[in-house]
């Protein structure tokens, strides 16, 4: 924070002139980039349709209400599938995420030079790609169905769980590990007694957290054909059966709220 | 029984923590290791059971040179050295009993330890030790529910159930209040006498050390500068170990030193 | 006293010891275990797997893995380029708009700043935005506004509001009251109070969260194309449909690289502001 010497005495400023100019330039650049982006979106948009939007929205809303309540009976089975995709996918992901996390954590990796980068690569590549894309890929490979959905959710969750888990492993209290080592315990025993109890709460928290997210994601996997309630959503949209669409959206909302409630309860019980 | 020869440790940063330390500990002797922070006390203790890898020199435990051992043999020898830590280092989310039994890990197989099916003799011994330190009713409490003094007692049980010949004790009282500190020191020394154990106790409370041990080693900058009876620690000697200070007051005023030690 | 403890010890010697169970009530423990096992059996039994199809697929899966070693950036270079630019454009525009809108909503959703009616409205907006997934919002917006990046832009902006406002509001609620009170005690107006008492406390976190959200927005923008809301997703979908694994691999590699770059930048920025 400079003090400028002027004729009228010392004047306090938050920034020097140069800093202020640089900041203005940054803001200007930012605004220019934003305007350019907006221009591109605008160019790609048929504004004629947009001016119609309120009317169309009103029209869709009119057709979608009231929801077709009787349709709920065909939704129970897809809901069960959705639950299974999320749960089995999460379980499979956890099984694979644990070894990856141990290989990725600085204090447990067998080789920081060779193994750790591979583990980190697995984490970042599975994490960067959305489960819907994984589902697309798996459907191309093993065909549509619930199984593809489970595998997609599992792969997507590996990186997420492994990342949080290896951060937890790196934060453990080292003296507890030291104490177990000093008793003459083997590597595996040090793991089981010194490390696992310390990360168990984090592990449980991550599992429930990810399960909650996976319920949300598995409701839409059906849009690309990977099973679950999204299949019905897609089918109803294709036939423009708006009352069914609105019912399905309500069911999905309810499922999301319930899963959030369950995961909050379980996390509360763990901590 | 324990013999250190020219034990040297140089850290990667270039700091020389230990400079060719020679030390001979006969069996059954309890000695205190004193010295300012950074003198290498902690490093010395950890070089003995190789939690820190010594750079050169040898550590003879009986006839075995610990520095030459491979991983499996080292684990076998570690069983003969119980270790007690400054911050207790209990596994906080395990129960008291599991913490005590973890001292037997070097003796039981992996699956047995994973499923917690320890031999009955180990379980009995654990109960006896917990009873000896007055914590038998706490056996199924989780370690993080205990007070500092209680945790250190559990730490002592964990070290003793290894059936060691030697105790390595790293600042056992640094996190405790003055009264508990004395109780813990007394307990450690009594148990060593009962079982005929040798012990190296790292401690920076000179008065407390003088109260309980037969032999004091003074360490400064990784070198032994004093080796003798506690009574021989004159203000001159303390100055040599710690640097200039008014020692008369420190030696008498135990509580004052404690507050500082509690960090 | 000594006698009593010794008798306690005598009782214990020779008894087997077991770790106290995680769930204390026996019936509850067994209900949970049996229920869990039954659910797993039912769930796994209800999954129909066409193993011969999976077996056939292994070959294609392997082809796809191999495609990563020889990704094809060129043969659909134009489509990839326009798709990527569109994704990035949507990400930038939606992040800017979303962040700008989420700040006043976060202020409104913090109980220690906003009056109750405002609080209820803002919390309502956040709840709606968080409950609806991006892809479903995108479907509805495409139905309303037609195909193209505008629907994607609106979707991402809407999702950003829910995410950012909630976390920011929680942060404002957790801020240090005494600092804010000290500013108020100087006689500052409401705007000055926000500027001097609240902003400095939450700004680092706002920046951190914003960058994190940019990262998420980019990843989401990659799938919006599946439902016609613009971005690289449409190109990717086509590539999968035509079994052009080398093109798909090229797109996926680009996505991964951009996400990694964003994470790297966000790491640097977060270290700087904190």
**Over the stretch C66-85, which tens digit does the pLDDT of each residue have?**
888 888 888 888 888 888 99
Q: What average pLDDT does the segment B96-113 reach? A: 91
Task: Nearest chain C residue to B142 by CA: give it.
Answer: C20
DSSP output for B27-80: TT-EEEEE--TTSSHHHHHHHHTTSS--SEEEEEETTEEGGG--HHHHHHHHTT
Nearest to B136 among C9, C14, C18 (CB): C9
Coil, strand, or helix at residue A113? coil
Of B98, B129, B104, B134, the residue nearest B116 (C-alpha): B98
Alpha-carbon torsion (C212, C192, C108, C224), positive or negative:
negative
Nearest to A189 among B82, B85, B110 (CB): B110
- Judged by CB atoms closer than 8 Å, whether chains meet at B140 and C20 is answered as yes
Q: Establish if C13 touches chain B: CB-CB under 8 angstroms.
A: yes
State the pLDDT at residue A117.
Answer: 92
pLDDT band of residue B263 (cuts 50, 70, 90) is: very low
What residues have CB less than 8 Å from A76, skipping those under 6 apart? none
Provide Rg for chain A, Cα atoms: 26
Output the six-digit token pair for B198: 């040798």
Distance of CA B174 to the CA centre of its chain: 12
What is the distance in angstroms between the Cα of B79 and the nearest Cα belonging to chain C?
A: 23
- Judged by CB atoms closer than 8 Å, whether chains meet at A136 and C240 is answered as yes
What percent of chain C has pLDDT above 90?
16
- Judged by CB atoms closer than 8 Å, whether chains meet at B116 and C6 is answered as no
State the pLDDT at residue C112.
Answer: 81
Q: Which residues pair with A81 in a beta bridge?
A: none
- Judged by CB atoms closer than 8 Å, whether chains meet at B131 and C5 is answered as yes
Looking at this predicted complex, what is its ipTM?
Answer: 0.85
pLDDT(C117) > 60: yes
Task: Nearest chain A residue to C132 by CA: give it.
Answer: A253
What is the distance in angstroms between the Cα of C37 and the nearest Cα belonging to chain B?
A: 20
pLDDT(C2) > 60: no
What secondary structure, in 3-state letters, does A145-204 show?
CHHHHHHHHHHHHHHHHHHHHHHHHHCCCHHHHHHHHHCCCCHHHHHHHHHHHHHHHHHH
**Of A95 and A58, more confident:** A95
Alpha-carbon torsion (C173, C176, C181, C186), positive or negative:
negative
What residues have CB less than 8 Å from C64, skipping those under 6 apart? A137, A140, A141, C245, C248, C249
**Of A74 and B247, more confident:** A74
Nearest to A49 among C86, C146, C226 (CB): C146
pLDDT band of residue B17 (cuts 50, 70, 90) is: confident
Judging contacts by C-beta atoms under 8 Å, the chain A residues touching residue C252 are: 129, 133
**What is the rounded average pLDDT for all residues in chain B?**
86
Nearest to A140 among C58, C60, C92 (CB): C60
pLDDT band of residue C156 (cuts 50, 70, 90) is: very high
pLDDT band of residue C96 (cuts 50, 70, 90) is: very high
State the pLDDT at residue B251.
Answer: 58
pLDDT tens digits for A11-22? 777 777 788 888
* β-strands B81-84, B166-170 pairing: parallel
**Of B247 and A58, more confident:** A58
What residues have CB less than 8 Å from A249, skipping those under 6 apart? A233, C136
Q: What average pLDDT does the segment B124-136 reach? A: 90
Coil, strand, or helix at residue A6? strand
B113-118 long-range Cβ contacts below 8 angstroms, 24+ apart: B113/A185, B113/A189, B113/A192, B113/A193, B114/A192, B116/C18, B116/C19, B118/C17
Judging contacts by C-beta atoms under 8 Å, the chain A residues touching residue B92 are: 173, 176, 197-198
- Judged by CB atoms closer than 8 Å, whether chains meet at A145 and C50 is answered as yes
Judging contacts by C-beta atoms under 8 Å, the chain A residues touching residue C139 are: 223, 237
Nearest to A128 among C58, C227, C259 (CB): C259
* Max CA distance (Å), chain A: 84
**What is the rounded average pLDDT for all residues in chain C?**
85
- Indicate the range of A173-177, B136-140, C69-73, C82-86 predicted with least confidence: C69-73
What is the distance in angstroms between the Cα of C4 and the nearest Cα belonging to chain A?
A: 32
What is the distance in angstroms between the Cα of C43 and the nearest Cα belonging to chain B?
A: 29
Judging contacts by C-beta atoms under 8 Å, the chain C residues touching residue B127 are: 9, 12-13, 17
Domains of chain C: 75-273 (1.10.3720.10)
What is the distance in angstroms between the Cα of C116 and the nearest Cα belonging to chain A?
A: 24
Alpha-carbon torsion (C177, C179, C180, C181), positive or negative:
positive
Neighbours of chain B (3+ CB pairs under 8 A): A, C
State the pLDDT at residue C26.
Answer: 83
Return d(Cα A95, Cα A157) in angstroms, integer: 11
Q: How far is CA A6 from CA A2, A18, A101, A129, B211, in A?
A: 12, 17, 60, 57, 70
pLDDT(B253) > 50: no
Selected residue of B89, B90, B100, B108 to mutate for chain A interface (largest A Cβ count, 10 A): B89
- Judged by CB atoms closer than 8 Å, whether chains meet at C5 and B95 is answered as no
Task: Nearest chain A residue to C82 by CA: give it.
Answer: A40
Which residues 101-160 on chain B approach chain A with CB closer than 8 angstroms? 102-107, 110, 113-114, 155, 158
- Judged by CB atoms closer than 8 Å, whether chains meet at A183 and B85 is answered as no
Q: Which residues pair with B10 in a beta bridge?
A: B16
Task: Nearest chain A residue to B89 by CA: give it.
Answer: A176
Q: What average pLDDT does the segment A264-269 reach? A: 82
**Of C190 and B115, more confident:** B115
Selected residue of B98, B121, B123, B145 to mutate for chain C interface (largest C Cβ count, 10 A): B123
CA atoms within 13 A on the CB side of A213: 15
pLDDT band of residue C146 (cuts 50, 70, 90) is: confident
Q: Establish if C21 touches chain B: CB-CB under 8 angstroms.
A: no
Return d(Cα C239, Cα A139) in angstroms, integer: 13
Q: In CATH, what class is A71-270? A: mainly alpha
pLDDT(C35) > 90: yes
Return d(Cα C101, Cα C126) in angstroms, integer: 12
Nearest to A178 among B51, B94, B98 (CB): B51
Nearest to B127 among C12, C18, C20 (CB): C12
Judging contacts by C-beta atoms under 8 Å, the chain C residues touching residue B137 are: 8
Judging contacts by C-beta atoms under 8 Å, the chain C residues touching residue B143 are: none
Output the six-digit token pair for C116: 């109750």
Distance of CA A268 to the CA centre of its chain: 21
Size of interface A-B (CB pairs under 8 A): 82
Q: What average pLDDT does the segment A204-210 reach? A: 91
pLDDT band of residue A195 (cuts 50, 70, 90) is: very high
Judging contacts by C-beta atoms under 8 Å, the chain C residues touching residue B128 are: 9, 13
State the pLDDT at residue B250.
Answer: 60
pLDDT(B206) > 70: yes
CA angle C257, C263, C265 (to 5 degrees): 105
> Domain-by-domain residue ranges, chain A?
3-64, 71-270
pLDDT tens digits for A253-262? 888 888 888 8
DSSP designation for B142 = B
Task: Nearest chain B residue to C18 by CA: give it.
Answer: B116
pLDDT(C268) > 50: yes
State the pLDDT at residue A3.
Answer: 64
What is the distance in angstroms between the Cα of C159 and the nearest Cα belonging to chain A?
A: 14
Coil, strand, or helix at residue B244? coil
Of C84, C72, C105, C126, the residue nearest C246 (C-alpha): C72
> Domain-by-domain residue ranges, chain B?
1-76+200-250
Judging contacts by C-beta atoms under 8 Å, the chain C residues touching residue A253 are: 131-132
What percent of chain B has pLDDT above 90?
31
pLDDT tens digits for B71-93? 889 999 999 999 998 888 899 88
Output the six-digit token pair for B118: 């320890």
Return d(Cα A136, Cα A226) in angstroms, integer: 8
- Cβ(A130)–Cβ(C219) below 8 Å: yes
Output the six-digit token pair for C184: 């108020």
Where does residue A242 rank: exposed (0-12), middle (13-18), buried (19+ CB within 10 A)? buried
- Judged by CB atoms closer than 8 Å, whether chains meet at B116 and C19 is answered as yes
Nearest to A186 among B75, B77, B168 (CB): B75
Nearest to C17 among B123, B128, B137 (CB): B123
Domain spanning B1-76+200-250, CATH architecture: 3-Layer(aba) Sandwich (3.40)
Neighbours of chain A (3+ CB pairs under 8 A): B, C
Judging contacts by C-beta atoms under 8 Å, the chain B residues touching residue A168 are: none
- Judged by CB atoms closer than 8 Å, whether chains meet at A179 and B87 is answered as no
DSSP designation for B116 = T
State the pLDDT at residue C274.
Answer: 66
């Amino acid at each position: 924070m400079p003090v400028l010497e002027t004729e009228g005495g010392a004047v306090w400023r938050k920034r020097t002139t140069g800093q202020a100019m640089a900041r203005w330039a940054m803001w200007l650049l930012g605004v220019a980039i934003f305007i350019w982006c907006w221009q591109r979106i605008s160019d790609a948009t048929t504004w004629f349709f947009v001016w119609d939007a309120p009317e169309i929205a009103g029209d869709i809303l009119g057709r979608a209400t009231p929801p077709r309540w009787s349709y709920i009976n065909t939704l129970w089975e897809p809901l069960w599938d959705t639950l299974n995709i999320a749960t089995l996918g999460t379980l499979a992901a956890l099984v694979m995420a644990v070894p990856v996390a141990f290989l990725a954590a600085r204090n447990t990796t067998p080789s920081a030079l060779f193994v750790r980068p591979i583990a980190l690569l697995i984490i970042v590549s599975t994490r960067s790609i959305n489960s819907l894309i994984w589902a697309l890929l798996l459907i191309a490979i093993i065909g549509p169905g619930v199984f593809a959905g489970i595998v997609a959710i599992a792969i997507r969750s590996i990186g997420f769980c492994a990342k949080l888990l290896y951060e937890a492993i790196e934060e453990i209290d080292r003296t507890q590990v030291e104490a177990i080592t000093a008793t003459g315990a083997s590597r595996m025993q040090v793991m089981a007694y010194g490390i696992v109890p310390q990360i168990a709460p984090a592990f449980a928290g991550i599992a429930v957290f990810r399960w909650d997210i996976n319920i949300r994601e598995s409701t839409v996997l059906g849009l690309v054909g990977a099973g679950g309630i999204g299949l019905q959503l897609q089918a109803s949209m294709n036939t423009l059966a708006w009352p069914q669409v609105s019912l399905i959206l309500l069911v999905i909302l309810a499922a999301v709220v319930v899963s959030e409630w369950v995961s909050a309860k379980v996390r509360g019980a763990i901590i | 029984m324990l013999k250190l020869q020219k034990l040297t440790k140089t850290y990667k940063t270039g700091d020389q923590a230990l400079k060719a330390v020679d030390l001979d500990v006969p069996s059954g002797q309890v000695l205190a290791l004193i010295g300012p922070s950074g003198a290498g006390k902690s490093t010395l203790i950890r070089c003995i059971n190789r939690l820190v890898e010594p750079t050169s020199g040898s550590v003879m435990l009986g006839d075995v040179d610990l520095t030459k051992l491979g991983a499996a043999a080292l684990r076998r020898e570690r069983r003969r050295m119980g270790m007690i830590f400054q911050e207790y280092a209990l596994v906080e989310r395990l129960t008291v009993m599991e913490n005590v039994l973890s001292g037997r890990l070097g003796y039981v197989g992996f699956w047995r330890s994973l499923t917690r099916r320890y031999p009955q003799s180990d379980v009995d011994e654990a109960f006896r030790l917990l009873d000896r330190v007055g914590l038998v009713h706490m056996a199924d409490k989780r370690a993080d529910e205990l007070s500092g003094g209680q945790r250190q007692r559990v730490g002592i049980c964990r070290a003793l159930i290894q059936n060691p010949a030697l105790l390595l004790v790293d600042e056992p009282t640094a996190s405790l209040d003055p009264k508990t500190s004395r109780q813990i020191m007394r307990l450690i020394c009594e148990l060593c006498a009962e079982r005929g154990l040798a012990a190296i106790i790292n401690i920076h409370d000179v008065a407390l050390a003088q109260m309980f041990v037969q032999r004091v080693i003074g360490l400064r900058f990784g070198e032994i500068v004093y080796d003798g009876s506690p009574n021989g620690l004159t203000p001159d000697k303390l100055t040599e170990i710690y640097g200039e200070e008014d020692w008369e007051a420190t030696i008498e005023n135990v509580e004052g030193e404690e507050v500082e030690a509690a960090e | 006293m000594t006698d009593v403890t010794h008798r306690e010890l005598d009782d214990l010697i020779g008894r087997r010891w077991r770790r106290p169970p995680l769930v204390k009530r026996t019936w509850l423990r067994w209900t949970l275990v049996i229920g869990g096992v039954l659910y797993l059996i039912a769930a796994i039994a209800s999954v129909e797997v066409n193993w011969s199809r999976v077996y056939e697929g292994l070959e294609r899966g392997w082809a796809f893995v191999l495609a990563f070693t020889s990704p094809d950036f060129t043969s659909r270079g134009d489509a990839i380029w326009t798709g990527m630019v569109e994704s990035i454009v949507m990400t930038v525009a939606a992040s800017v708009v979303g962040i700008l809108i989420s700040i006043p909503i976060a202020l409104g959703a913090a109980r220690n700043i906003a009056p109750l009616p405002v609080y209820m409205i803002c919390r309502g907006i956040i709840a709606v935005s968080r409950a609806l997934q991006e892809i479903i919002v995108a479907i509805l917006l495409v139905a309303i506004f037609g195909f193209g990046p505008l629907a994607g832009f609106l979707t991402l902006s809407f999702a950003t509001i829910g995410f950012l406002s909630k976390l920011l509001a929680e942060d404002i609620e957790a801020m240090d009251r005494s600092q804010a009170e000290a500013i108020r005690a100087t006689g500052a107006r409401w705007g000055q109070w926000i500027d001097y008492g609240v902003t400095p406390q939450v700004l680092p976190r706002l920046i951190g969260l914003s960058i994190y959200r940019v990262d998420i927005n980019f990843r989401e923008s990659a799938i919006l194309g599946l439902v016609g809301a613009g971005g690289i997703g449409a190109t990717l979908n086509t590539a999968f449909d035509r079994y052009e694994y080398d093109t798909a691999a090229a797109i996926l590699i680009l996505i991964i690289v951009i996400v990694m770059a964003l994470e790297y930048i966000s790491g640097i920025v977060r270290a700087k502001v904190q």
